[in-house]
Structure 1
Amino acid sequence: MPANLYALGAIALWTLLASLGVSLKHVPPFLLTGVALLTGSVLALPVVLRDRTQWKIARATLALGVYGLFGFHFLLFIALRHAPPVEANLVNYLWPLLIVVLAPLLLKDVRLRTVHVAAALLGFAGAAIAILGSGGDSVSPDGGSWGYIPALGSALIWASYSLLTKRVPAFPTAAIGLFGLVSGVLSLLCHWALESAAVLSAQDWLLLAVMGLGPLGAAFFLWDKALKQGDARQIGILSYLTPLGSTALLMLVSGRALTWSIGLAAVMIISAALLGTRAK
């Protein structure tokens, strides 16, 4: 399967995340992340049970995986608590742009051309229009703006993790399950230390299972396949379809009519994707 199809599969699953998150907004965020990541790690078990060497990876590789999966969510949740959610989410979606611009710095034999930068900027502009045009709460919970720093940090973590997986010793995609397992345990420890206990209903568990098997499970495996086989610059540009699809789906689920901003954002992001993926 072409790498871009793996990337589009991950992106399609990530578009579900915001809608699922709204349905589970009463669940403490670290509890939600911990349960979902542990559920997603189960997807690797059939492979690992057949071949236990799939999880025998270098410590540096495991550290990188936990840095990516746990570090990204940890800083993102801090940002959403201390900065306006809509704007913090927009800052977080700098990660596709960072993948494009950091690729020549972190990867050998990768050069950045003007067309890649132009496509990345066009995609980010489209993402900004999609997110800000959808409206939302722009009042910071604590009246401050320092929460933008962890939002930027989470974007930097995901971009650097995505690129550095090509720098560490080769590891099987099944190892993503180990990343999720360790990250899930750390998230549950954060829940125990920082959040109040919560009682979950049967529907909550069902939605958590869907989130774990999809956006916080299968998506990571597909993303790893895409990064191993594809061009990081093209994949980064394609990733702007995530905020577009996520915002559009969220508006449909909440019963809000799609606006001109979504249409304009779609044209800009699809144009950016076509421009970036056709570049040699």
Structure 2
Amino acid sequence: MSATLAGIGALVLWAFLALLSRLAAGVPPLQLTAMSFCVAGGLGLVMLALRGQLGVLRQPPIVWLHGVGGLFGYHALYFAALAYAPAVEANLLNYLWPLLIVLLSAPILGLRLGPRRLVGVGLGFLGTVALLGSGAQFPAGAWFGFLCAVACALTWSVYSVTARRLAAVPTEAVAGFCAASAVLAGAVHLAFEPTVLPDARQGLAALLLGLGPVGAAFFLWDIGMKRGDPRLLGTLAYAVPVASTLLLITAGHGALSWSVAAALVLVTGGGWLAATAK
């Protein structure tokens, strides 16, 4: 039960990912990725050193490729999505990842889809159509942000599904993945982006990201998925896009239009239907 509660804690933290990302607006996406992972990885490595567990970082190359590729790839794309596209719409597209997990479980893990799961996936697709085909006038560059949002949903779904093949990797190794992601993001940032000196608001947002949604959440989710009830966590995950979207709207970073409301119902409802199918 405690492991499942840890997974629920990760879901609560992820509900704040979009809002904190918007509070850091103005910081280039790769720089924000580097800053957030620097906090998460730095604290994680200090904790490992104090507990004498740095040896858990000795993992095969495939484990590092999976961990760093998933964490760095997802967040770099996510921060780019919110930087270039309207926050509410980009955030909802990102939350196609639970549906994609259901869809990819068949070819990757050999799990049966079944008609109910396929209907759920179809509803999620209709939610995307409602969101992007509503006739709304999006700003220039928004479609690049939307593509980044879809790409980050695909990245996180592949990372999550394939994680089952690496269940023996200790949770503590996530600290190393975060640190390596910070270094990689920093190097790519210096090569392709201008550096922005964060103001107090941006710096606080990056710190909170590193402590919560981009930090502790990974450790909690790893514990929950490996030792908790993945069925319950998978079902509860569909409350995250609702909470995340409402937080954005309440903070003034978007409006609850009919297309957003329809997409929210279709994406969340489709995901729930797929997750609860027998």
Matches within 5 A, 1:1-280: 1=1, 5-41=5-41, 42-43=43-44, 45-50=46-51, 51-77=53-79, 88-107=90-109, 110-122=111-123, 138-141=138-141, 145=143, 149-168=147-166, 170-229=168-227, 235-236=233-234, 238-254=236-252, 275-276=273-274, 278-280=276-278
**TM-score normalised per structure 2:** 0.80
CA distance in 2, matches of 1:211, 1:140: 27
Cα root mean square deviation, aligned: 3.7
Aligned residue pairs total 276
Unpaired runs of at least 5, structure 2: none
Report if aligned partners of 2:88, 2:253 keep a CA contact under 8 Å in 1.
no
Report if aligned partners of 1:72, 1:154 keep a CA contact under 8 Å in 2.
yes
Report the Cα offset of residue 198 of structure 1.
1.5
Report the Cα offset of residue 28 of structure 1.
1.6
Report the Cα offset of residue 128 of structure 1.
7.4
CA distance in 2, matches of 1:3, 1:243: 22
Q: Which amino acid aligns with 1:66?
A: V
Report the Cα offset of residue 229 of structure 1.
3.6
Q: Which amino acid aligns with 2:112?
A: R
**TM-score normalised per structure 1:** 0.79
CA distance in 2, matches of 1:218, 1:87: 26
Report the Cα offset of residue 111 of structure 1.
2.5
Q: Which amino acid aligns with 1:210?
A: L
CA change 1:68–1:90 in 2 (3 A) is same
CA distance in 2, matches of 1:12, 1:246: 9
Superposed CA offset, 1:35-93 (max 9, x none): 11121122453245322222221111011111101122334455566767665544433
Report if aligned partners of 1:99, 1:236 keep a CA contact under 8 Å in 2.
no
Higher helix share: 2
Report the Cα offset of residue 252 of structure 1.
0.9
Report the Cα offset of residue 264 of structure 1.
6.5
SS in structure 2 at match of 1:196: coil
CA distance in 1, matches of 2:232, 2:194: 42
SS in structure 2 at match of 1:174: helix
CA change 1:77–1:24 in 2 (3 A) is closer
Report the Cα offset of residue 210 of structure 1.
0.8
SS in structure 2 at match of 1:104: helix
CA change 1:101–1:260 in 2 (3 A) is same
CA change 1:30–1:257 in 2 (3 A) is closer
CA change 1:8–1:119 in 2 (3 A) is farther
Report if aligned partners of 1:173, 1:224 keep a CA contact under 8 Å in 2.
yes
Q: Which amino acid aligns with 1:114?
A: P
Between 1:69-78 and 1:145-154, the stretch displaced more is: 145-154
CA change 1:126–1:37 in 2 (3 A) is same
CA distance in 1, matches of 2:79, 2:255: 28
Q: Which amino acid aligns with 2:17?
A: L
Unpaired runs of at least 5, structure 1: none
Report if aligned partners of 1:91, 1:152 keep a CA contact under 8 Å in 2.
yes
CA distance in 2, matches of 1:20, 1:135: 28
